[in-house]
Amino acid sequence: MSGFVSRGFRGRRRPAEGTGGRVPPGQYVEAAFPVLTAGPTPRIDLAEWRFRVAGLVAHPRAWTWEEIRALPPSTFTGDIHCVTKWTKLDTTFTGVSVDILLDAAEPLPVASHAVASSYGGYTTNLPLDDLRGGKAWVVWEFDGAPLPPEHGGPARLLVPHLYFWKSAKWVMGLRLLDHDAPGFWESLGYHNHGDPWLEERYWSD
C-alpha cells in the first residue's frame, strides 16, 4: 500500500526543529517516557540486590546496594534514543560511572566485550569500549527521584550514546568476554552495536 497517506493524520510527535541536530536520523521527539518491557517487572529486595562484574577480570567484584550507593556519584544530563524511533531530550540520571566499577574489577587485556544481565533474565551485549571513558553508568535516579520500577528501578544500566535497549533495566551485572555474545534483542534481529547516529537498528545495518 505504498503511497497511501491517511488524510489529516499527523501523529503525536513533536517536530525536530529547534533541537539543533540533537535528534538522530529517523527519530522523533517524545515528551513522555514510554515504557517498553519484555516481561514482568522484577520485585527485588534491596537487601539481596547485588551488582557484579565478572568474567575476564583480574578481580571479580560484587557490590551491595549500600556499597554501590557509597561510591562517588555522577549525573548524566542529555538525550536518550529508542530504536522504536522516539528520542527524549534533556533527561537526567544519577548513579555511578561504570568506569569506577570496571576499574575495581580490572578487566584483563583480552576482554573486548561485555554482556549486561538483569534480574528477570534480560541481557544485552556491548563492546567494552562503549562502557568506558565516561560513556556509561549504573543509575538509580531519574529526574531527581528514585528510578521507578517500570523504568528499571532500583537500578539500570545507562549507555545513552547507544539505542536505549542497551541500557538494561534491573541490571545485576556485567560479564566481560573476549568475543561478542548477542543478547535478548540482538539474537532476535537487532544490531549488536546500536549507534543511533549511524542508524544501527537491525542485524544487517
Partner 1 sequence: MDDHDLRVDGNAAAGLLGEVFALEATAAWTTCGGCGAIGQVGALLAYCHGMGAVLRCPGCDTAVVRVANAGGRWWLDLRGARSVRFDPAP
Partner 2 sequence: MAGRAVLERLTWRLARVAAARAETPRFVSLDLEVAGWPGHLPGQHLDVRLTAEDGYQAQRSYSIASAPDGERVTITVERLDDGEVSPYLAGELGAGDLLELRGPIGGYFVWEPALGGPLLLVAGGSGVVPLLAMVRHHAATGSRVPTCLLYSSRSAADVLASGELERLAAAGSGFAVTHTLTREQPPGWDGYRRRIDPAMLTEVGWPPAARPLVYVCGPTRMVEAVATALVELGHDQARVRTERFGPTGG
Residues of this chain that bind partner 1 (CB under 8 A): 34-41, 82-85, 121, 149-150, 165, 185, 187-190, 201-205
Picking from 107, 120, 108, the residue whose alpha carbon sits closest to that of residue 169 is 120
Which residue's CB is nearer to partner 1, number 55 or number 183?
183
Binding to partner 2 (CB under 8 A): which residues in 17-56?
28
Binds 205: which of partner 1, partner 2, none (CB < 5-8 Å by kind) = partner 1
Considering the complex, what minimum distance in angstroms separates the CB of residue 9 from partner 2? 5
126-131, long-range: CB < 8 A, 24+ apart: 126/159, 126/162, 126/166, 127/180, 127/193, 128/102, 128/176, 130/159, 130/161, 130/162, 130/166, 130/193, 131/98, 131/102, 131/159, 131/174
Please state, in angstroms and rounded to a whole number, the distance separating the CA atoms of residues 192 and 201: 9
User: What does the chain come to in residues?
Assistant: 205
Binds 146: which of partner 2, partner 1, none (CB < 5-8 Å by kind) = none
Binds 50: which of partner 2, partner 1, none (CB < 5-8 Å by kind) = none
Considering the complex, what minimum distance in angstroms separates the CB of residue 16 from partner 2? 11
Question: Contact between 8 and partner 2 (CB under 8 A)?
Answer: yes
Q: Which three cell numbers stand for residue 169?
A: 533495566
Residue 13 Cα distances to 2, 6, 67, 159, angstroms: 22, 16, 41, 24
Binds 202: which of partner 1, partner 2, none (CB < 5-8 Å by kind) = partner 1
Question: Contact between 14 and partner 2 (CB under 8 A)?
Answer: no
Report the interface residues with partner 2, using CB under 8 A.
1, 4-13, 28
